[in-house]
């Protein structure tokens, strides 16, 4: 199976018949404004009436005929933007460059968002942060139809480019689609389908995009956009937030924010350009929603879920701490239940820690130096083993207790470092992780410490957290 921004990979390049280049400009714009449901009917009517219509049109002046003869004058160019979809890789939206050759009817959209699950070494490349994406031209109507079926909004923005700019854009895209040039190493923030579209437009605009938007700072970060666009799935939201490191918390420019297709769409809407030093004019000639959606509007900001994660964390910590209470110690079902929660917490935290350590040796650069390692410590896997073994005797209880106290100490030390001015990773915005995981460390360490035997003869040893032989069970 392959994914192409929500469209099936089977789409192929196509060409429609009928030279539209002879249709008067006003008819072209009327056709571009027609609603999708009436597009084909309107096109047939326009074609049928072409001969009669031209009989009433005055011959164009010499200057207009000369302009229409310029290479590239037969091309029309649009930025195509699709709103977010359901799959994880669709949450950020998608875009493409549409080029219509009015002299041949060839209407294709250049798409840089192709990847294939059946690709050789797909999983290893994905884990290493070296996943290959591809680019190819696709039939515009089929691509838009796939988005319509997926209930995703599609916006077309026709770009007012000079004929020579359109020609350069089309030719560069065609060269990029050649077999030896179509693949690239995907990087989710810095080199994705949207940044490729942005960079191509910037080239044909002679750097006008970068010049306009790179100096623009609005305080947004990569984490900000990740949170706002993944909030529709709380598990994906939480998992992504835990995996992203401090590199995603530095403010980025509007230019960098254009890794989100919808940001690119919105920013060029009011951009004015001066092609070849000529008169300044809007880049976007017209804008049309060709496919509407019943989905909720794209969120403009992340949710305020810190309190929810704090409540979950406190509940988890209290559950683990209850293992030291007389009620839990004297009830075998309660003791086993709390013990199972402790083991599950240790396994999940340990596995997350192994992932965070492993990411340090990949190209997932935005996960480097993740402070969540203070909380998701790989040594939690050792605690997951020691907790059940604590039922076998005092020596295992002591080992489990010492490891839990050490892990809690590491977590507390990491929390204190958040308030040290010279701590190099203090910019990591991971309050959610602290609220979710620190209470669990403290609760488990407190429970195991409370069950520790005092001086000889003070009190009898209590059963381990998962012991099955206590009286009263």
DSSP 196-212: HHHHHHHHHTTTHHHHH
Per-residue pLDDT at 453: 56
The residue-averaged pLDDT of 409-422 equals 90
* Complete DSSP assignment for 7-73: B-TT-------S-GGGS-HHHHHHHHHS-HHHHHHHHHHHHHTHHHHHHTSPPPPHHHHHHHTSTTT
- Give the pLDDT band (50/70/90) at residue 465: low
Give the residue carrying structure tokens 């949170």: 227
- Give the pLDDT band (50/70/90) at residue 452: low
Compute φ and ψ for 429, nearest 5 degrees: -90, 80
Per-residue pLDDT at 425: 67
Q: Which residue has the higher pLDDT, 251 or 25?
A: 251
Q: Using CA atoms, how far apart are residues 363 and 97, in angstroms rounded to an integer?
A: 28
Residues 6+ apart with CB under 8 A from 293: 83, 151, 152, 153
- Give the pLDDT band (50/70/90) at residue 20: very low
pLDDT at 183 over 90: yes
Q: Using CA atoms, how far apart are residues 338 and 90, in angstroms rounded to an integer?
A: 39
Q: Which residue has the higher pLDDT, 344 or 277?
A: 344
Per-residue pLDDT at 49: 37
The residue-averaged pLDDT of 22-48 equals 36
pLDDT in tens, 318-336: 999 999 999 998 898 999 9
pLDDT in tens, 334-365: 999 999 999 999 999 999 999 999 999 999 99
Least confident piece of the model among 94-103, 191-200, 388-397: 388-397
Q: Using CA atoms, how far apart are residues 319 and 405, in angstroms rounded to an integer?
A: 17
Q: Which residue has the higher pLDDT, 91 or 391?
A: 91
Among 86, 84, 110, which residue's Cα sits nearest to residue 97?
110
pLDDT at 97 over 90: yes
Q: What is the mean pLDDT of the chain?
A: 84
The residue-averaged pLDDT of 191-198 equals 97
Please tell me what DSSP assigns to residue 246. G
151: left (phi over 0), alpha (psi -120 to 50) or beta: left
**Domain regions of the chain by residue span:** 2-216+253-291, 306-450
Q: Which residue has the higher pLDDT, 217 or 39?
A: 217
* Complete DSSP assignment for 365-400: GGGTT-GGGGTS-TTHHHHHHHHHHGGG-HHHHHHH
The residue-averaged pLDDT of 427-432 equals 90
The residue-averaged pLDDT of 141-164 equals 96
- Give the pLDDT band (50/70/90) at residue 392: confident
For residue 220, count other CB atoms closer than 10 A to its CB.
18
Q: Using CA atoms, how far apart are residues 88 and 100, in angstroms rounded to an integer?
A: 31
- Give the pLDDT band (50/70/90) at residue 279: confident
Query: Do the Cβ atoms of 2 and 118 come closer than 8 Å?
Result: yes
Per-residue pLDDT at 276: 78
Q: Using CA atoms, how far apart are residues 39 and 32, in angstroms rounded to an integer?
A: 9
Residues 6+ apart with CB under 8 A from 143: 7, 11, 80, 96, 109, 111
């Amino acid at each position: 199976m392959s994914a192409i921004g929500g469209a099936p990979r089977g789409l192929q390049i196509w060409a429609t018949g009928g030279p539209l280049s002879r249709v008067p400009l006003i008819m072209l714009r009327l056709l571009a404004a027609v609603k999708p449901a009436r597009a084909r009917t309107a096109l047939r009517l326009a074609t049928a009436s072409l001969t009669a219509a031209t009989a009433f049109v005055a011959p164009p002046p010499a200057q207009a005929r000369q302009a229409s003869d310029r290479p590239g004058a037969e091309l029309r160019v649009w930025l195509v933007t699709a709103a977010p979809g359901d799959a994880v890789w669709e949450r950020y939206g998608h875009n493409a460059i549409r080029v219509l050759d009015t002299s041949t009817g060839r209407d294709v959209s250049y798409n840089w968002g192709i990847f294939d699950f059946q690709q050789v070494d797909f999983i290893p490349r994905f884990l290493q942060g070296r996943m290959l994406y591809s680019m190819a031209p696709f039939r515009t109507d089929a691509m838009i139809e796939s988005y319509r079926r997926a209930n995703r909004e599609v916006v077309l923005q026709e770009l007012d480019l000079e004929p020579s700019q359109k020609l350069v854009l089309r030719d560069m895209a065609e060269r990029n689609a050649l077999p030896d040039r179509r693949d690239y190493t995907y990087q989710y923030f810095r080199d994705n389908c949207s940044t490729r579209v942005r960079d191509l437009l910037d080239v044909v605009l002679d750097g006008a995009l970068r010049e306009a938007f790179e100096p623009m700072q609005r305080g947004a970060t990569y984490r900000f956009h990740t949170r706002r666009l993944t909030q529709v799935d709380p598990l994906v939201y939480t998992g992504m937030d835990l995996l992203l490191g401090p590199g995603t918390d530095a403010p980025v420019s509007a230019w960098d924010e254009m890794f989100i297709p919808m940001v690119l769409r919105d920013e060029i809407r009011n951009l004015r350009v001066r092609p070849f030093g000529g008169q300044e004019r809007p880049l976007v000639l017209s804008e049309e929603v060709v496919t509407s959606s019943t989905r909720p509007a794209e969120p403009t900001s992340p949710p305020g879920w810190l309190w929810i994660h704090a409540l979950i964390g406190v509940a988890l910590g209290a559950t683990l701490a209850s293992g030291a209470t007389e009620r839990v110690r004297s009830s075998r079902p309660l003791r086993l239940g709390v013990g199972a929660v402790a083991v599950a917490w240790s396994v999940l935290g340990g596995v997350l820690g192994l992932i965070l350590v492993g990411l340090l040796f990949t190209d997932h650069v935005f996960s480097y130096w993740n402070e969540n390692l203070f909380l998701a410590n790989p040594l939690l896997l050792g605690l997951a083993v020691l907790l059940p073994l604590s039922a076998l005797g005092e020596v295992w209880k002591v080992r489990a207790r010492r490891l839990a106290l050490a892990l809690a100490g590491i977590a507390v030390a990491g929390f204190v470092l958040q308030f040290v001015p010279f701590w190099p990773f203090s910019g990591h915005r991971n309050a959610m992780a602290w609220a979710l995981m620190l209470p669990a460390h403290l609760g488990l360490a407190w429970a195991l410490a409370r069950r520790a035997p005092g001086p000889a003869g003070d009190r009898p040893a209590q059963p381990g957290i998962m012991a099955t032989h206590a009286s009263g069970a």
